[in-house]
Amino acid sequence: MTESRPAFALDPEQRAWCARLRDLAEQRLRPLAENAEPGRVNRPLLAALGELGLLDRLFDSGALDLCLLRESLAYACTEAETALALQGLGACPVREHGSPAQRQRWLPGVRAGRAVAAFALTEPEAGSDAAALALAARPAPDGGWRLTGGKRWISNAPEADFYTVFARTTPGAGSRGVTAFLVPADRPGLGGEPLEMLSPHPIGTLTFDEVPVTADDILGEPDRGFRVAMGTLNRLRPSVGAFAVGMAQAALDAALAHTAERRAFGGPLAGLQSVTHRTAEMATRTEAARLLVYAAAAAFDRGEPDVARTSAMAKLLATETAQYVVDSAVQLHGARALHRGHLLEHLYREVRAPRIYEGASEVQLTIIAKELYR
């Protein structure tokens, strides 16, 4: 007899926790985000996430709790959600594959919000095709390697305190010849510059000019870094969907409030069938995305074998849904939603990137199809 799978309704304790998170994000975290310089690492915000225990929760929670955390923060303060998520992306490889010395050196600072982590995978010519990485790790006379090349579109660069860097140690070996290194920001030869992006998050380039690394800097095993990267992305992929769901819910709630109050053509906008059909579609898609995100996260927590497929489905549906819902909310608001500083103007800039990073929607479709035909 097949074991029944749980229905994804939150229990009262989970709902109360999500409500507390929204309040914390609105009251404690949003003011720190609003007072920060766009495109720079917000260290006071990270310190507050550490003080509130949310960075501990990031590392100590299962995938479902992580989704609830990210969704709740995204609803009230996207900057806080992103700052938290980037700590996880950069430091999860250290937690899962680091040596005792590496963990002791870096993880307490990451959990406290004092040490800023970054995940350096993408290169100018190797984005979705991560196996095509070209950053060279060449053997050095001292038994280590020298890193030469560049990375691009790296969140928290160039301001992070350390980087999880993926470099090619065996030329011509595809994904089998990549090694993950923990590279502190003060290593000689490591540089970079910020990039100005549509959304206000810190992101930039890294340059490696004979940057020295040794066996003590390896995360996991030599030539097995691709597993480190994919393991991290598979764990976080459903929660990227949760981030998107949080933004979609915020946009939906804004649209409902606006259309109930805004009067046009002799009555409220909510009296027009074209408007209510649009909000009904927005709500249905948001709830469907939420349920698939929760299902993928729960499947990861249970260790199910098809987690790659369900995680890809969750990220695909949630990020595409969020784009639709935010765009629809802007349309229902009209020009006021495009005014700088409006919630929907902010969400409109935020919502575009998740359809690209950590695997673009087209990559998710490829993963799903591959798993279906396996």
Which helix (H) or strand (E) element contains residue 179? strand 178-184
Phi/psi at 86 (nearest 5 deg)? -70, -30
Domain 227-372: CATH architecture, name and number where available: Up-down Bundle (1.20)
The domain locations on the chain are 12-112, 117-225, 227-372
Please report, for residues 16, 189, 260, the alpha-carbon distance to residue 265 in angstroms, rounded to integers and kept in the order given.
Answer: 40, 65, 14
**Integer CA distances (angstroms), 43 to 6, 40, 157, in order:** 39, 9, 13
Give the 3-state secondary structure of 131-170. Answer: HHCCCEEEECCCCCEEEEEEEEEEECCCCCCEEEEEEECC
Range from 3-7, 66-70, 83-87, 170-174 carrying the lowest mean pLDDT: 3-7
Which residues are CB-contacts of 158 (< 8 A; sequence separation ≥ 6)? 185, 191, 192, 193, 194, 204, 205, 206
Instruction: Give the pairing of strands 145-155 and 267-268.
Output: unpaired
Taking alpha carbons only, the member of 36, 245, 74, 219 closest to residue 137 is 219
State residue 306's pLDDT score. 84
Q: Please determine, for residue 116, whether its predicted confidence score (pLDDT) is greater than 80.
A: yes
**pLDDT reported for residue 130:** 65
Instruction: Name the DSSP class of 277.
Output: H
Per the annotation, the verdict on 358 as an active-site residue is yes
Domain made up of 12-112: CATH architecture: Orthogonal Bundle (1.10)
pLDDT at 195 over 70: yes
List CB contacts of 203: < 8 A, sequence separation 6 or more. 39, 153, 154, 155, 156, 157, 194, 195, 197
The rounded mean pLDDT for the chain is 93
Superfamily of domain 117-225: Butyryl-CoA Dehydrogenase, subunit A, domain 2 (2.40.110.10)
Residues 6+ apart with CB under 8 A from 135: 123, 147, 148, 149, 150, 151, 165, 166, 167, 168, 208
Q: How far is the C-alpha of 226 from the C-alpha of 77, rounded, in Å?
A: 32
What is the mean predicted confidence (pLDDT) over 56-69? 93
Read off the pLDDT band of 351 (50, 70, 90): very high
Q: Please answer whether residues 160 and 121 qualify as being in contact, where contact means their C-beta atoms are separated by less than 8 angstroms.
A: no
Q: Is the dihedral of CA 54, 9, 323, 346 positive or negative?
A: negative
Q: Which of 34, 79, 358, 371 is catalytic?
A: 358
Average pLDDT over residues 227-234: 89
How high is the pLDDT of residue 38? Answer: 86
Per cent of the chain over pLDDT 90 is 80
Give yes or no for residue 72 having a pLDDT over 50: yes
With 50 as the cut, is the pLDDT of residue 253 above it? yes
Q: Is the pLDDT of residue 5 over 60?
A: no
**Amino acid at residue number 312:** A
